[in-house]
Amino acid sequence: MSARRRPGRLEHLVAWGLKNADVLAAVLVALVVAVLEIFGDSLPEDVTSGAILSVLCLLAVSHTVERVRQPAAVKEALAGTERALHDIAMIRSLHGGEVGQALEQARRETTRWQFKGGTGTYLRAVTLPELLRATRLRRFRLTVAVEIIDPREERVCAQYAHFRQTFARRDAEPWTTDRTRKEAYATVLAAYYYRSRFRQTLDIGVHLSAAVPTLRFDLSDRCLVITQDDDRRENFLVDQGKPLYLYYETELLESRRHATPVDLSPEVPLSEEPTVDEVRNLFEELGMPLPVTYTDPDVAEIAVKALNAPDPYGR
């Protein structure tokens, strides 16, 4: 089969001329008039005026034809700009107390909650208890997916502690590697505790990550709230259904797929106020035993953080 012959330069020139015939005609008329005016006798005024009008008319036709040639491109550009402006308008900045209000509204009537962050302090202190309270009132099933740092990874805990301490207030409790590990263990304990008591209405899963997060993500049926550890910086809210919401919904799912899941299925009895021995036994059964250096007061501290943690933001 013979190869297709590429169009020659002459063919390109002819094609360009046909496409721009209206412009060429205007230029030709203008040139003829100009040459006659320069090298010939003066043209009658009505002829010159008519020629000028012809040129203007041809240019107007050329402009109109060009707009007709590309209506789809123009419409697509305008639609893209409109979508971009609309999406930007749906990303709202949050400051101070607005974060707590946004999270409170997000908890209303949602059937699912996805969290990704460092140790989940606010999650177990406020989010989980409030979600479960709403679940009991409205009698619906709640699905919760949690991703936090792995407390068994001392290096990761040290890096996260350093990151948090960089932005911590001077009067706040210092972030250390030990505190970070205990906070993360406490979130696992809280997840198991609530799961064991609300089996009919709560489906909760915990994943442990070896990566240090710099942002926190709380995603509900209503919106996505993105917060930072530095309360002097902006936080953000994205309404459900917007491109950024859908993107992060997928991102959170993929992130959990690359994290280590905690098997919360073992049947381990826990008291209303779990004892030190019960907590130690639970983590043994979960396949993530507590460090041998942890004393009984250390384990008791984890239990308190899990079920009686104060609101870290005092809201």
Distance in Å from the first CA to the final CA of the chain: 77
Domain-embedded: residue 273? yes
Domain-embedded: residue 143? yes
Q: Are residues 105 and 214 in the same domain?
A: yes
Domain-embedded: residue 70? no
pLDDT digits (tens, 9 = 90+) for 104-147: 999 988 999 999 999 999 999 999 999 999 888 877 889 999 99
Q: Are residues 56 and 118 in the same domain?
A: no
Return the higher-pLDDT residue of 41 and 238. Answer: 238
Confidence of residue 233 (pLDDT cuts 50, 70, 90): confident
Question: For residues 308 and 304, what is the distance between their CA atoms, to the nearest angstrom?
Answer: 5
Q: Please tell me whether residue 257 adopts helix, strand or coil conformation.
A: helix
Q: Are residues 152 and 46 in the same domain?
A: no
Q: Are residues 105 and 147 in the same domain?
A: yes
Q: Which residues contact 104 (CB under 8 A, 6 or more apart)?
A: 130
Domain-embedded: residue 82? no
Domain-embedded: residue 100? yes
Count how many domains the chain has: 2
pLDDT digits (tens, 9 = 90+) for 19-71: 555 555 555 555 554 445 444 554 554 444 444 445 444 444 454 444 445 55
The domain of 42 spans 10-63
Strands 260-262 and 235-239: unpaired
Q: Are residues 48 and 161 in the same domain?
A: no
Q: What is the mean pLDDT of the chain?
A: 81
Q: Are residues 129 and 16 in the same domain?
A: no
Domain-embedded: residue 53? yes
Give the total residue count for the chain: 315
Domain-embedded: residue 314? no
Q: Are residues 275 and 135 in the same domain?
A: yes
Q: How far is CA 31 from CA 25, 28, 54, 186, in A?
A: 10, 5, 12, 86
Q: Are residues 173 and 133 in the same domain?
A: yes
Q: Are residues 53 and 184 in the same domain?
A: no
* pTM, 2 dp: 0.72
Q: Are residues 47 and 142 in the same domain?
A: no
**pLDDT surpasses 50 at 15:** yes
Q: Are residues 25 and 130 in the same domain?
A: no
Strands 202-209 and 112-116: unpaired
pLDDT digits (tens, 9 = 90+) for 281-299: 999 999 999 999 999 999 9
- Strand ranges inside the chain, DSSP E: 91-94, 112-116, 142-149, 202-209, 215-220, 223-228, 235-239, 260-262
Q: Are residues 98 and 154 in the same domain?
A: yes
